[in-house]
Amino acid sequence: MENLNKILGLIKSKKDKFRDGYFIPEAWKPDGFGLYKKYDGRKGEIAVNPYIFIEWCIEKEILAHAGKTENLNDTAVNPAEKAIYGILPRVFTAWDHYEKGRICYGTFVKSICLLPYLKSMGVDIVYLLPVFKTGEKYKKGDTGSPYAIKNIYELDKKLHDELLGEFSEKLLETEFKAFIEACHILGFSVLLDFAFRTVSRDSDLISEHPDWFYWIDLKHAEKFSVPVVEKTKMPLPVNEETVVFLYESKNLDEYLSKFTWSPDKIDKRKWEKLVRLHKETGSNILELIENEFGITTVPGFSDVINDNQPIWSDVTYLRFYFDNHAIAKEYVKDTMPPYIMQDGVCLKLNRGGKENAALIKYITDVIPYYRDNFGIDGARIDMGHALSAELNREINAKAKSGVRFFILWSEELIPKRAESAYEDGFHFISGNLWSVYKSFDKPGFNKILLDDTLMNAAIPMTAALETPDTPRAALVHRNADRLRQLVMINCFMPNTVPYINNGQELVEIQPMNLGLDNTNEGRFVLDKDDPMYGKLAFFDNYRFHWTGEGGFRMKELIADALIIRKEFSGIISKKEKFIINEEVLENDKLLCLCCYDKSLEKGVFVIANKGLKTRAEVILSLIYKEYSFVKTGKFRLIYSNWKRSSRTINPGEKIILDAGGVIIGSIGI
């Protein structure tokens, strides 16, 4: 608690000097806090002395609970028994605290104040999107993407809270440590997102290691594009067959001609002079290179051939090998300048022979640095599927080398590849449930969901209605009854880790990013008079709609679902306890989920009426007629009509589900 107390001391030293007006959403107010005022024209907000507010939150809502939770992760943790809330820290607590329209960034300190809010929702793991120093050159939007990482060993100064005074790296580190300490006091594990395949175009690594990058002539940068395969217009994954198509494409030579040598190879003396200027003046390293050498780092792109995704103009790929892979060597001479195409993105498939050992060490030391210096409890590896199995395993082995259990999450989206992620040392994957749910009311959905997706994964996947990269659930599922139903049943999916995305409980419809299943039109879903119209949280100074009317009801629904799930998490978390049969798979009117532990003679069932216009009848003994617990188990309805219940039922009893309704029941309890 050392760092949390340091922040508290700073806050207390400044509280009597504050004279300005400072507004926060009323939704942030903890129960019992009464030191605020309300003003006309600031609906849904309260005016506070921010120092008194933060002091109250730290003392009454955090430190008051110190010593009441068990030591986190001292023993093995099953992530499937937990629930995750994902945070983009720069946006989570962003607000126009002073005059309307001047949005202050979200910070670690303000996020501490909202940890009780997350606790009341029933989540166990706080997952942070990248919190590192980001690039300036070629940044997207007002702020730049959190994934355009300029230096992964430094924190993003935008996350410093100006209420504490002048910025310093040491103070910012204290703020981050205080946030993690506060999480631990309340029993949260903290997972941090790491991206290792790409960095910002103007990465700090350039000045010391220009040969770790791919370089192109500056004249090609603005209209840069990757080769396409003429045999088909369809997107193609890179494999042994399609990589040959790529190297035999007619525009290969033109593409390769865009690449050049790193600046230190072009003119060593000029390069050394430029680096000295960079260090003396702090001038942007890439800007200096572009001006002096007329070259730049290659922009990033998808590893899918013929993909229609736009170029990733704010990031570039790191060079993990100093030579080409075996197939490429048949087409490209080693005397050519280093280049990268779609085949070179996925190191799991195509690797050279001369490994960049210094880069490997730089990367594999990152997670232990944050584990040992800041106390994080786990990590998500962005684009882990694009790293080699050997590198993933080395990253994960080093991450697990500490004294406490360390949770590892792979971004892998495809369920059948979960086995590979498990072999690499991951505990769960991202999966694709958000996409599967779009077919909820279509014939055959149950089989796709249960047989082809959830049961097809060797390790759990996140149960997510939305992610930071996808369209918002409230936009995709516009019918309020359907959305409510999906939010509830999502928390009971077998072989999953429930995931709540930042702002999901506020019924946000504006996406944070357009990375998956979206187009540029997807950024314009808000009303045109909304201050956030057209803005994306990943790239712009965005704030959530904390004063909206639907947030409270959705938050309470999520809390109901997660609290009930926690009662049965020991059973739900075990894939082998899930009961699946043809009656369940082929039923297009109902979705039936049932987990039962025969040795304990206990279980839980969740049944949803997929129809939104008609009622449905349920008789448990018919759905699960071949299972003995139907004859011997005691059944109790614990959730019905969107509220808690406690009614003993007979398995042969006819239960009526309202249109779009959900029931939850216990077996043997």
pLDDT at 552: 74
Collapse the DSSP code of 21 into the 3-class scheme (helix H, G, I; strand E, B; otherwise coil) and give the result. coil
d(CA 235, CA 304) in angstroms, rounded, equals 6
Model confidence at 73, in pLDDT bands (50, 70, 90)? low
pLDDT at 631: 78
Q: What does the mean pLDDT of the chain come to?
A: 95
b or e along 446-480 (b: 16 or more beta carbons within 10 Å of the residue's beta carbon)?
Answer: beebbeebbeebbbbbbbbbbbbbbbbbbbbbeee
Kindly state the helix (H) or strand (E) to which residue 640 belongs, with its residue range: strand 635-640
Q: Where are the beta strands (DSSP E) in 45-116?
A: 45-47, 84-87
pLDDT at 336: 95
More confident residue, 328 or 386: 328
- Written as six digits, the tokens of 395 are 């990253």
> Residue 77: pLDDT above 70?
yes
d(CA 306, CA 86) in angstroms, rounded, equals 32
- CA nearest to 325, candidates 346, 304, 305: 346
Model confidence at 626, in pLDDT bands (50, 70, 90)? confident
Percentage of the chain beyond pLDDT 90 is 89
More confident residue, 1 or 280: 280
DSSP characters over 284-318:
-HHHHHHHHHSEEEPPB--SSBT--PPPBTTEEEB
Q: Exposed, middle or buried, 516 (CB in 10 Å: 0-12/13-18/19+)?
A: middle
pTM of the full structure: 0.96
d(CA 271, CA 293) in angstroms, rounded, equals 9
Contacts (Cβ under 8 Å, ≥6 apart) of 361:
none
> What are the pLDDT digits (tens) for 541-564?
999 999 987 777 999 999 999 999
pLDDT at 633: 73
Give the pLDDT mean for 402-413. Answer: 95
pLDDT at 72: 61
Model confidence at 447, in pLDDT bands (50, 70, 90)? very high
Contacts (Cβ under 8 Å, ≥6 apart) of 211:
262, 264, 265, 319, 322, 338
Domain boundaries, the chain: 2-199+360-566, 200-346, 574-667
Class level of CATH domain 2-199+360-566: alpha beta
> What are the pLDDT digits (tens) for 631-646?
777 899 999 989 999 9
> What are the pLDDT digits (tens) for 597-622?
999 999 999 999 999 999 999 999 98
Give the pLDDT mean for 263-270. Answer: 98
Model confidence at 74, in pLDDT bands (50, 70, 90)? low
Q: Does residue 115 contact residue 182 with C-beta atoms inside 8 Å?
A: yes
> Residue 70: pLDDT above 70?
no
> Residue 135: pLDDT above 90?
yes
Give the pLDDT mean for 124-143. Answer: 98
Kindly state the helix (H) or strand (E) to which residue 189 belongs, with its residue range: strand 189-195
Please state which architecture CATH assigns to domain 574-667: Sandwich (2.60)
> Residue 71: pLDDT above 70?
no
> Residue 349: pLDDT above 90?
no
Collapse the DSSP code of 135 into the 3-class scheme (helix H, G, I; strand E, B; otherwise coil) and give the result. coil
> Residue 625: pLDDT above 90?
no
Q: What are phi and psi of 650, to 5 degrees?
A: -95, 135
- Written as six digits, the tokens of 309 are 């995704």
Give the pLDDT mean for 237-252. Answer: 92
